[in-house]
Amino acid sequence: MVIGKVVKKVVATIKNEAFAGRSLLLVQPLTMKMQAKGSEVLCIDFVGADMGEVVMIMKEGSSVNDMMGLDEAPADAAIIGIVDQITLDDKRIFEKSTFEIA
């Protein structure tokens, strides 16, 4: 699993039936210092995340298939949680209530 920040909503007039009722969002992976790391990832949203939120993403296609109840889902990454806080080595490095959404 990876943490990331939702940076864009993806709008499609036509999309695969497997995505029905689910949003597609671009997520920028983050380091534990809350800095961008690597390229944005297209994710199917299972939790109702919003722009600017820090989320947990799963980047294993077979696990996404299981979550969607399909043998072969056309997705490799999914948002599976919204992060409220992160504590590392007894130090709070992220707190949702004080994080500036941009």
Domains of the chain, with CATH numbers?
2-98 (2.40.50.220)
User: What mean pLDDT comes out for the span 44-64?
Assistant: 87
Q: Are 89 and 40 in contact (CB under 8 A)?
A: no
User: Do 24 and 43 meet the contact criterion of CB atoms below 8 Å apart?
Assistant: yes
pLDDT in tens, 60-79: 766 666 666 666 666 788 89
Report the range of poorest mean pLDDT among 8-17, 59-68, 78-87.
59-68
Give me the percent of the chain exceeding a pLDDT of 90.
45
Structure-model confidence comparison of residues 96 and 8, the more confident one? 8
Say how far apart CA 26 and CA 28 lie, in whole Å.
7
pLDDT of 101 higher than 60: no
Across the chain, mean pLDDT equals 85
